[in-house]
Every structure is written in C-alpha cells, then in structure tokens.
C-alpha cells in the first residue's frame, strides 16, 4: 500500500502524477504555467482528467539560468498553498533537490518531495521525515543538478539503479520517513544515455520485484526523442508506448504532461492484466 497525503493506493493501482512547471523556460511547455492562473487551470484540468498527484517544480531539470533557493521557493511555496486550499484531496508533490525549499513547501501543505537528483542534498530526506511526507528516491548517476550526462558508463545500469535507489530508500526509513510513503525512480535520462534509459525500461521488473513502489518519469524525454528521431512536440506516441511497457512491468506512478492520454493507456493495461473491469461490457451479451 502506498500512502501519500490523505490518499491510499493499492499495489495494482496505476497512478498519474501531472507535471506543473513553475518555470519560464521548461523544455516542454516553454513557460505556459509560469503564471498563477494558467498553472491553476492546468491543475484543475489534470485532476479532472484523472491525475491523483500534482508535481510542482520551480527549476527546470536541464542547464539554464541560475535559480537560487530563494527564487525557487518564491515560484513554488505560495502556489503549493493555493493548490492545497483549492484541491484539498489532491496529493501535492514538489520537484526539488534542496532541503530549504522542501521545508518551505512542507510548511504550506506539500505531501511528497520528488528528489530527482538522487539525494545530492542529504538533508532533504530529513525534512521528509520531520514533516511526515513522502519521498521519491531517484537514480541520477551521481551527476550534479541541472547538468547533462557526458560519456557516462555503467558495468550494469540496472544494478547501479538498484544499488542507489534502494540505498536511498533504506536511509530514508532509518531517518523516519514512512516506508509506505517512499517511491523509487530509475531516473530516465538523468545520468544516462538513451541506451541506458531503454535498458532501464526493459528491466523495470527488477525494480518492481523489490516491492518498493516504482515511479517513472518518461514524458517526452530525450531518450524517446532519440529512439524515434522526433522533436519534443512529437514524442507522445513514443512516450505512451514506453508507458504501456512500464505499466505491464509493474510501475505504479507515472509523471506526465498528457494526463488524459496516459489515463487511457494505464486503464487499458490494467484491464488486460485483470485489475480493472471494462468500463462497458455489452458486446456479445445481447
């Protein structure tokens, strides 16, 4: 059982985490939700389309203009408070690697800290423990935040993913983070080339076999673009194919831009797996 905020998710429940970027330079939406009203409209739409988790980020993952912890907090804290007020039942996640920002967003109602950079700030897990919130433990290949991988190599990429994410998860438990509020993430594209990310996807069942809930962040990423030779705005089909494979291999949470399309993919996989009845069943019954 995965418990985040006031929500509980069963082991066969596939959960959507909708991305809301509070940045003027995000790689996908180019700042479409930087201002409050478009961002709140995005939250409303995502919840209506089936997202149970909203992931709010104040710094884009890739290289770019320096964003201080103070500026990151300015972009996220007030917005988290407003989302908490307007959507009391949604799980609020904040994508940050900084403990200062983590503490500030937890004060106003965040339920989950999404540490995409693999514990580079070890105090972030302590914040999660102190506030009783969840934590995402990600494999990022040991790279510094907001840097791209360069000639990165692994003897066995999945072995390294398991070593790092399980180590971060067990450390979080030792610090006092609830075991049922921790997720592990293979970190597609983070500290990896395209072949690494494809292998991580192909071997995702090795992560799900650990019984930790697995989060995947696949949406429109570079490994999809390179695999199919498609620009950012033409990666939806590749993303959905990767999503279906990940769902079949047992991933539980999906961090996405396109909620409605992802919801259909996940529901279809759940029904094929026997975890969800068809929404309508008339064929051959009349």
Quickly list DSSP for 175-204.
HT--GGGEEEE--TTTT--HHHHHHHHHTH
Rounded-to-integer distance, Cα 15 and Cα 250, Å: 12
Supply the pLDDT for residue 150: 87
Supply the pLDDT for residue 249: 98
Supply the pLDDT for residue 186: 98
Name the active-site residue from 255, 263, 282, 283. 255
Rounded-to-integer distance, Cα 136 and Cα 172, Å: 10
Sheet holding 182-185, edge to edge: 182-185, 134-138, 112-115, 91-95, 53-57, 15-21, 253-256, 215-217
- What does each of the 286 residues of the chain score in pLDDT, given as a tens digit? 999 999 999 999 999 999 999 999 887 777 789 899 999 999 999 999 999 999 999 999 999 889 999 999 999 999 999 999 999 999 999 999 999 999 999 999 999 999 999 999 999 999 999 999 999 999 999 999 999 888 999 999 999 999 999 999 999 999 999 999 999 999 999 999 999 999 999 999 999 999 999 999 999 999 999 999 999 999 999 999 999 999 999 999 999 999 999 999 999 999 999 999 999 999 998 7
pLDDT tens digits, one per residue of 221-279: 999 999 999 999 999 999 999 999 999 999 999 999 999 999 999 999 999 999 999 99
Q: Please tell me what DSSP assigns to residue 7.
A: E
Helix ranges, the chain (H): 36-48, 69-86, 99-107, 123-131, 157-175, 194-202, 204-208, 222-228, 236-248, 259-272
Give how far the C-alpha of residue 187 lies from the chain's centroid of Cα atoms, to the nearest Å. Answer: 9
Name the active-site residue from 42, 75, 192, 221. 221
* 221 catalytic per annotation: yes
* 85 catalytic per annotation: no
Supply the pLDDT for residue 1: 93
Rounded-to-integer distance, Cα 269 and Cα 248, Å: 7
All domains of the chain in start order, with CATH: 2-272 (3.20.20.20)
Supply the pLDDT for residue 27: 74
């Amino acid at each position: 059982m995965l418990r985040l905020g006031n929500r509980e998710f069963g082991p066969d429940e596939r959960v959507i985490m909708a991305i809301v970027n509070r940045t003027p330079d995000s790689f996908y939406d180019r700042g479409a939700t930087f201002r409050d009203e478009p961002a709140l409209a995005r939250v409303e739409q995502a919840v209506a389309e089936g997202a149970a988790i909203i992931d709010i980020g104040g710094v884009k993952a890739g290289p770019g203009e320096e964003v201080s912890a103070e500026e990151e907090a300015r972009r996220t804290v007030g917005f988290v408070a407003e989302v908490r007020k307007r959507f009391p039942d949604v799980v609020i996640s904040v994508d940050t690697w900084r403990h200062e920002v983590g503490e500030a967003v937890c004060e106003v109602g965040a339920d989950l800290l999404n540490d995409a950079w693999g514990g580079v700030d070890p105090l972030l897990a302590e914040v999660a423990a102190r506030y009783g919130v969840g934590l995402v433990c990600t494999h990022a290949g040991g790279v510094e935040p907001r840097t791209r991988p360069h000639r990165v190599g692994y003897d066995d990429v999945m072995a390294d993913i398991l070593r790092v994410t399980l180590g971060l998860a067990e450390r979080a438990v030792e610090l006092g983070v609830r075991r049922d509020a921790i997720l592990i993430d293979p970190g597609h594209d983070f500290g990896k080339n395209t072949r690494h990310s494809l292998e991580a996807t192909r071997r995702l069942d090795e992560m799900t076999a650990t019984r930790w809930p697995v989060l995947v962040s696949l949406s429109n990423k570079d490994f999809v673009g390179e695999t199919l030779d498609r620009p950012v705005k033409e990666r939806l089909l590749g993303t959905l194919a990767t999503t279906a494979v990940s769902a079949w291999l047992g991933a539980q949470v999906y961090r996405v831009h396109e909620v409605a399309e992802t919801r259909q993919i996940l529901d279809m996989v759940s029904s094929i797996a026997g975890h969800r009845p068809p929404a309508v069943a008339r064929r051959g019954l009349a």
